[in-house]
Chains A and B, each alone.
Chain A
Amino acid sequence: MPRNLFLVGALALWCGHASAADFCPTVADSQNFGLQYQLQGAQQGNLQLLRSHAQTAYYNPDNGVGEWWDFKQASHPNFYRVFSQQQRRIDYYTGDLRTLNIHVSQTEIESFAANNLRQQLTLVGDGACADSQRYQGDYQGVHYELLWSNSLQLPLSLSTRRNDRTQQWQATAVLSGEQVTQQLQQWQQFTDTDYADIGDNETDPFLAQMINQGFVEHSEHAVYNSQGQPLQGAHQH
């Protein structure tokens, strides 16, 4: 089914105010690094953004679930979902993504889904960190405050307020290029299955779980479940 999800809507749950104590990351290679984010406010959670050139992954260290994009061929991205606890990986090819009606923007993936949002907001001045800028504004009933790193093209802090509900994503730590490379290499070694082959592997307990309980499709971004709650365990259904 085509899904009517818009990026900005997806951010609507990130509510809160910009933190006074801004974290200013130092990154040696802006093409090969990771950033750890912490979600604060009404909900809590962690999310790592891993970046290695054309590859970007989001990994939830709390449940070991990750989503990994490879834009080496920008028009034909490869997408992988990784499940660290089971040491398994599901590979989605371009055709698979199309059957799932998934259309993806490399810029949005690489920007923590904030680049588009940034263009909806008003620049209000320089941030506390070097090479950073503060944006704010209201969009579709949500008030946003964004601290944007120009060098990383990523948010250092992103807070949202809808009614009286506030939340904040805050960058809290840098992962080194080696850590990122190692993580991606480890995922490369996981037992892999083509998404297209899941249906023919109903006797594989891991895949059967996916077939019967909607593990893949109805599972959420590593951060969220369908109510926008951060995932606490590997399986939320």
Chain B
Amino acid sequence: MKLNAIVLAMTTALAALALTGCGDDGDTGAAGPAGQDGSTGENGRDYTAVNQWFVEGQATVSQASQRSVSDPAGKAKNVILFVGDGMGISTLTAARIYQGQQQGHSGEENRLSFETFPYSGLVKTYSANQQTPDSAPTMTAIVTGVKTKDGIIGIDDQAIRGNCASGQNQSVLSALQLAELAGMSTGVVSTARLTHATPAATYAHAVERNWEADSNMPQAAIDAGCTDIAAQLIDFPYGDGIEVALGGGRTYFMANGTTDPENGSNGRRNDGRDLTSEWTSKYSDSAYVWNREQFLAVDTRNVKHLLGLFENSHMQYEADRQDDVAGEPSLAEMTSRALDMLKQNDKGYFLMVEAGRIDHAHHAGNAARALQDTVALSEAVRVAMEKADDDTLILVTADHSHVFTIAGYPVRGNPILGLVRGVDDNGSASTTYSTDSNGMPYTTLGYANGPGFGFGNDPINSDSYRPDLNLYNVTDVNFRQEATVPMDSETHAGEDVAVYARGPGAQLVTGSVEQNMLFHVMNYAADLVNRAEANQQ
């Protein structure tokens, strides 16, 4: 009996699978059936002119061959960095198929918005002290050019996690901080708490990623002069301050004893500071908003410093956003309005946008939410592709991967969240599901570890020691995929992640690179250090 057995009534539905159409959509996204006549050349026609795979592959090479780019340093006026937290390559593949199937296609041929970028590479994510990292050292590497130890944000690997004194004088500057020093406008957007490791690495320095409010810090660290991450966002000393900060984590900015307007929870600041009102008093022409309606009402032409905190902790998953109590903007909406504000600066801008909850859904072993949040990131990137001018370097990457996998030999167009249905002798969809060695069906998506191990007291075929997935609605958004090793939280994975680039300097993103190299790409493309120095004269 599970923890919730006493109070829960749960429904089970038979998995209902419906194969979607299997037509190819092709690289260009144009819908159309696969070329058939002459596709093999056997009937005397030239397949190289009609076979879709051949023609489109040829066109891609033809386009690439016309590129001989060697953009000079500083050609990029602006930089937009997108990070999918925990968005490993299997997540990209599954999300691409998921989005394509949502649009009524077979899915495999779909491309997420950034998969159309001309340059990409593989990124080695290990941290200074761990083969498989967390978000703190990885995002530090991406935005400062320096790998550090797990749990540490914006401080080099001489520091010891949680030891305030060890991090003194070891801080490293981020691309966002350099951009502020250069007189550019800057923005931080995340669906996680703004104080969470990934967004924090753009503006804060902390030897412990959990020091998000002062109540999360040991008194000794406060006495030694360390400050919490939320306070660092408001006290940010570089340039004229961050222009746009949008995300979750409201209670980390609220004094203990004050009550969250949406959730009713208590503020987390023992120092009594109300950081949201400090934001509006620190900056003239500033605004603080905490729900979607207020956010959409902001006059982006006149508001110069915007703080939006849309949840007391992390923002909702995209799957749950529509029924949020107070209403939350989407990642694409936040990206769009951030760009409206940042674009007004003639000196350019730096914007970081994080899809912060792909990671959390994976940790919970819930693939559907991870895929939906990945699609939401793709939509945010699409907005940036439309709004950003040609003098903008756009990078899309992940901080680390997850032990998430795409298994079996499903037929083309098989629902990505569904049970594996293979192909028959004719290469067409099989009439029955593929099965394991005990005759039990299995899903395409799964995890190497996590909470999806076993099913507690749920229906289990005792011969196979696996649940009978015929009894589950495996495509339900709340379905938790199976895991091989039992853990209550699924773990990160250590393999490389991808990086995609377009715009000035994008040609530098190629091959297999260290994660900290991405800062140097941005620095070269936008000449951040030199612009910062020049702006101090």
Contact = CB atoms under 8 A, between A and B. Distances in A.
A228 B10 contact: no
Contact of B197 (A4, A76, A200, A216): A200
A223 B487 CA distance: 22
A156 B174 CA distance: 62
Contacts of A101: 10, 478-480
Contacts of B11: 2, 103
B2 A3 contact: yes
Contacts of A81: 3
B483 to A, nearest CB: 9
Contacts of A224: 1, 5-6
Interface string A129-160: 00000000000000000000000000000000
B336 to A, nearest CB: 23
Give chain B's interface secondary structure class.
loop
B359 interface: yes
A200 B132 CA distance: 12
Contacts of A98: 317, 319-320, 369, 477-478
B9 A103 contact: yes
A108 B7 contact: yes
Contact of A5 (B5, B265, B317, B359): B5
B389 interface: no
A102 B473 CA distance: 15
B478 A210 contact: no
B482 interface: yes
Contacts of B320: 94-95, 98
A225 B489 contact: no
B451 A113 contact: no
A1 B479 contact: yes
Given A99-B480, A199-B489, A67 B3 contact: yes
Contacts of A58: 6
A4 B452 CA distance: 14
A95 B11 CA distance: 18
Contact of A226 (B456, B477, B480): B456
Interface string A92-122: 0111101111111100110001001000000
Contact of A1 (B151, B317, B455, B489): B455
B5 A196 contact: no
Nearest to B265: A78
A235 interface: no
Nearest to A96: B364
Given A100-B364, A198-B488, A5 B457 contact: yes
A224 B135 CA distance: 36
Q: Which of B12, B135, B209, B457 has most A Cβ within 10 Å?
A: B457
Interface string B9-28: 11110000000000000000
A227 B2 CA distance: 9
Q: Which of A4, A116, A215 has most B Cβ within 10 Å?
A: A4
B427 interface: no
Contact of A105 (B9, B360, B486): B9
B359 A200 contact: yes
A76 B487 contact: no
Contact of B363 (A73, A76, A198): A198
Interface residues of A, number: 63
A134 B482 CA distance: 44
A53 interface: no
A176 interface: no
Contacts of A109: 7
Nearest to A200: B134
B223 interface: no
Given A5-B458, A101-B480, A216-B488, A221 B134 contact: no
Contacts of A214: 451, 486-488
Given A220-B2, A221-B1, A5 B478 contact: no
Contacts of A201: 210
B421 interface: no
B478 A221 contact: no
Nearest to B312: A93
B99 interface: no
B42 interface: no
B314 interface: yes
A219 B150 CA distance: 29
A97 to B, nearest CB: 9
Contacts of A7: 6-9
A226 B1 contact: yes
Q: Which of B10, B11, B365 has most A Cβ within 10 Å?
A: B10
A28 interface: no
Given A194-B314, A198-B363, A199-B363, A3 B488 contact: no
Contacts of B110: none
A196 B10 contact: no
A200 B269 CA distance: 22
15 contacts: A1-B458, A2-B10, A5-B456, A67-B3, A73-B263, A98-B478, A100-B451, A200-B135, A202-B491, A211-B488, A214-B488, A217-B451, A218-B488, A220-B3, A226-B457
* Cβ-closest 3 pairs across A and B: A199-B363, A199-B489, A99-B364
Given A95-B369, A217-B451, 18 more contacts: A3-B8, A3-B455, A4-B10, A4-B12, A5-B8, A5-B9, A72-B264, A75-B323, A100-B364, A105-B9, A194-B313, A199-B491, A200-B135, A200-B209, A210-B488, A219-B3, A221-B1, A227-B1
